[in-house]
Amino acid sequence: MAKGDLVSIPCVWLMIPYRHFGIDIGDGTIVHLARDSSASNIMTVQRVALSEFADGKPVRIEAVSDSLSDDEVVSRAVGRVGETGYHLIAGNCEHFARECKCGMPASHQSDRLIRGVCRAGIAGWLAASTNAVRVASIAGVPKGMASRSSGIASLVAEAARHSAYAASRCAKIEHRKAEVIGRTVGVTTAAVAGLITAGPRAAASAAVVYLSLDSMAHSTMQTISKVYTDPNRPKNP
């Protein structure tokens, strides 16, 4: 670990694994957005000892492809100590740490969660529906491609995609490359599942359906992000 590194530790919330992020200041301390020990319902940007941040868990240095200079990263992080506020979609610990590290707020975890829920939700609806055409029209799937078998294939593909992404990240592959690997595995798995269940035509249909669900989920996430990052959005009192 070194000054300006983006670091994270593994955590679990309601059986859901995630990573908690912070910035290494280079002097044995970490700046991160976390719950204030003096007020359990308030999240603040804090500067704490590395041991307190790690809490006995292994600390991982996150690979990034577009970092600011180490001095600027540290200056950004330290300058925000004392700030309060938290939002799962627009202002969580990863948003804070990546904004300090790269200049722009981003949370790959919340982004992947929302897009994954969208894909799996529509795929499951399609797999269980007796009216695939109606589901297809809502999800933006090309006419004639949607079917219960393509929905099932997409569910299998989603599981394979997440497994491939997780394995890539464990191998310390940067998020963007891991996303490409996961998406490729997902589409390939959808096609293979369609081929096994109903032949070549079903393989093509399953791949097209999965790509359509991926596009729909991406558009949904962009819309949600715009809503929550709109400076004119009404704030809670």
pLDDT digits (tens, 9 = 90+) for 139-195: 677 767 778 888 899 999 999 999 999 999 888 888 889 999 999 999 999 999 999
Residue 129: both structure tokens together: 């529906």
pLDDT at residue 236, rounded to an integer? 39
By the 8 A CB rule, do 113 and 42 touch?
Answer: no
User: Rounded mean pLDDT of 67-91?
Assistant: 90
pLDDT at residue 95, rounded to an integer? 93
Q: CATH 3.90.1720.10 spans which residues of the chain?
A: 6-106
83-117 exposure pattern, b = at least 16 Cβ within 10 A, e = fewer: eeebeebbbbbbbbbbbbbbeebbbbbbbbbbbbe
Q: What is the CATH number of domain 6-106?
A: 3.90.1720.10
SS3 22: strand
Q: Is the pTM of this model over 0.75?
A: yes
- Residue-by-residue DSSP string for 198-232: H-HHHHHHHHHHHHHHHHHHHHHHHHHHHHHH-TT
User: Rounded mean pLDDT of 86-97?
Assistant: 87
- How do residues 22-34 score in pLDDT, each as one tens digit? 999 999 999 999 9
Average pLDDT, the chain: 87
pLDDT at residue 122, rounded to an integer? 87
By the 8 A CB rule, do 68 and 102 touch?
Answer: yes
pLDDT at residue 227, rounded to an integer? 67
189 φ, ψ (degrees, to nearest 5): -65, -40
Residue 13: both structure tokens together: 């919330």
